[in-house]
Amino acid sequence: MSLIYSEITSRKNDKIIWASKLTDKKNRDKEGVFFTEGAKLLEEALLAKLKINKLFFTQKALEQYESLLSDATAEENYLVTDEVYEKLTDETAPQGIFACIKKPVLEFFSESNLKDGGFIILEDIQNPLNLGAILRCAYSLGGTKLILSKSCADIYGPKTLRSSMGSAFKARFYICDSIVDFIEAQKKFGNNVYCTHLHSDSLLLGTFEFKPGDSIVIGNEGHGVSGDVAGVCTHSVIIPMTKDAESLNAATASSVLIWEMNKSKLIP
């Protein structure tokens, strides 16, 4: 099926101005739309069955990716000049595909999901590259249920999406009003919640086994887990490290913890 599209040659076109404003989270929230660039993220969005609102592409991209662009079945398709595309992109070597995608409706976990536990809880992860790396790691290592605090970086921000390499479309997540309340609810189900926190009673990672239903909390890059959250967790844990080594950043620490949490399910 041939791709039907309109052509845009002006950087002042209303559609281009609208799409370029999606770099601002406020506009993404207002429109219920986010954007991705490149073939890889468009492919991942289609695999996740997300709905494509608008597609902007260059002549070179059309020649190279016409089948993919057709498969996207976007509501609106636009062939743009290279000069116009420059207004949309912030990449140094763009592939010439700019997709505007409708945000999926986030539904809270079912009661059975909550009882099963096994959550990765992110408190105030503010660096989008860290958030994207954690999402990628979580999906790769079997941590597909995530809870994010409202102060986390935008999961639909361009840096987060690029860093996640499409994992943001695969993981199940929810943005939570109160991390403390969520942890308390997990405890009522009989699930343990561990946090990365240095304390005199902290457990050394590797000296105990995570049980099915256990969850972990990863805290802010600079300040770690807040006192309120640490206070309601059932256990705190530290990662054994070489003496005098710098602490691991949030994304690296997450990969170690998520592996330890899920290794029994990953090793045949």
Euclidean distance between CA atoms 73 and 80, whole angstroms: 18
Give the strands of the sheet with 120-122, arranged side by side.
172-176, 145-149, 120-122, 215-218, 193-196, 235-238, 203-204
Q: What is the pLDDT of residues 180-235, one digit of tens each?
A: 999 999 999 999 999 987 777 889 998 999 999 999 999 998 888 999 999 999 99
Do 34 and 62 meet the contact criterion of CB atoms below 8 Å apart? no
Provide the pLDDT for residue 142: 86
Do 121 and 218 meet the contact criterion of CB atoms below 8 Å apart? yes
pLDDT band at residue 1 under the 50/70/90 scheme: low
Tell me, what amino acid is at 176? C
Average pLDDT of the chain to the nearest whole number: 93
Q: Exposed, middle or buried by CB within 10 Å (0-12, 13-18, 19+), for 159?
A: middle
Report the predicted TM-score, pTM, of the whole model to 2 decimal places.
0.90
Average pLDDT over residues 1-6: 86
Average pLDDT over residues 43-62: 97
Tell me, what amino acid is at 243? K
Q: For helices 250-266 and 128-140, what crossing angle results, to 10°?
A: 10
Q: What is the pLDDT of residues 67-106, one digit of tens each?
A: 999 999 999 999 999 999 999 998 889 999 999 999 998 8
Provide the pLDDT for residue 193: 97
DSSP 26-76: HHHHHHTEEEEESHHHHHHHHHTTPPEEEEEE-HHHHHHHHHHHHHT--SE
The C-alpha angle 65, 167, 263, rounded to 5 degrees, equals: 140
Q: What is the pLDDT of residues 133-155, one digit of tens each?
A: 999 999 999 888 999 999 999 99
Provide the pLDDT for residue 246: 77
Closest CA to 185 of 152, 123, 125, 232: 232
